[in-house]
Amino acid sequence: MRSYIAALFTGLVAIAGITSCSKDDDRNNDYQPIEGKKGILLVTFGSSYGYYDGEESSPYSYQKPKDTYDNILKEFKKAYPDEDIRMAYTSSIILNKLRKDGKANLDFPNEALKSMAKEGFSEITVQSLHIIPGAEFNEMNALVNEFKAEFPKVKVKIGNPLLSNSTDIQNIANFLIAKYKAALEKNQAVVLMGHGNEKYPQYNAFYEKLQELIAKTKPEYNLYIGTVEGAPTLNDVLAKLKAKSIAENKIILAPLMSIAGDHANNDMASTNPESWKSVLEEAGFKVTPELIGLGAYNEVVKVWITHKSAAL
């Protein structure tokens, strides 16, 4: 009897093992790439601004983040008309809010990638819409690596963030200098707010390199970069401003971010006493915010597009 029970148990274990393996195999093989079917997945943190009618108006120059994302999508579609282009948000808070309210048909990056694999895409370029290769970019890479392990038959490439090398930094420096030339030529000031990384301060080096290149190219221009998290801080920027003679004390304040989302609207331009606008005004400056993200400008989007072309 014992031998029979042992044999039965061994058989059941074997069957269970086969069943388990078959489920794993089904999970990993329930897709068939179609040769030549290529797609692009644009990955960004996301924003709920612009999805709700009548909300998020502004007395300043303003482009709602949704409209900025639409511009980025439009430019990518023009550059890659033969590829299916989609967008994914990494923020669970934002995406869950939009899903709950039925405001957006968007996925998390891992969800979007799996859907594309099931639809037969043989090659997918995951293009970052981040500004620097910081914490969020690293998290995106981790999700991509998990997908690649689960769907090995799909070729996946990753496109770098906006500021990834010296050429990128030079291109964006030239863009910023040209964009704000009129105010800068009058000896007025421009202050740009980057997100920054408090937990990973090494990533802020990209902002510092951009600042150094702007100063080297146009040392007479009062164009300064600060970050919400880490250094350089608003206080660092304020010290530079106070050391200069700013014409009429006028400052243009704008986000160095892909969109003008929560940070730009609240931390930068709001009437909150701790906002950058309020702090600068308290110091005696006349501040004009511009709530327009970098993704609104095709010169900037072109950099992301070139990164898609060079993706590995």
Q: How do residues 35-62 score in pLDDT, each as one tens digit?
A: 999 999 999 999 998 888 665 667 778 9
- For the domain made up of 34-162+298-309, the CATH class stated in words is alpha beta
Token pair for residue 224?
Answer: 């300064």
Euclidean distance between CA atoms 265 and 109, whole angstroms: 26
With a CB cutoff of 8 Å and minimum separation 6, the contacts of 236 are 226
- Low-confidence stretches of the chain (pLDDT < 70) are 1-29, 53-57
Is the pTM higher than 0.85? Answer: yes
Domain 34-162+298-309 and domain 166-257+259-292, same fold? Reply is: yes
Euclidean distance between CA atoms 221 and 168, whole angstroms: 20
Domain boundaries along the sequence of the chain: 34-162+298-309, 166-257+259-292
What values do phi and psi take at 29, rounded to 5? Answer: -115, 5
Q: Catalytic pick from 130, 195, 263, 307?
A: 195
Any catalytic annotation for residue 195?
yes
Is the separation of the CB atoms in 304 and 159 below 8 Å?
Answer: yes
DSSP state of 267: I
Tell which CATH architecture fits domain 166-257+259-292. Answer: 3-Layer(aba) Sandwich (3.40)
What values do phi and psi take at 220, rounded to 5? Answer: -80, -10
pLDDT at 12: 35
DSSP state of 33: P
**DSSP alpha helix (H) spans, the chain:** 2-29, 65-79, 92-100, 109-118, 135-150, 166-179, 181-185, 205-217, 234-242, 262, 276-282, 298-309
pLDDT at 17: 39
CA angle 188, 230, 179 (to 5 degrees): 30
Q: How buried is residue 97: exposed, middle or buried, by Cβ count under 10 Å (0-12/13-18/19+)? A: middle
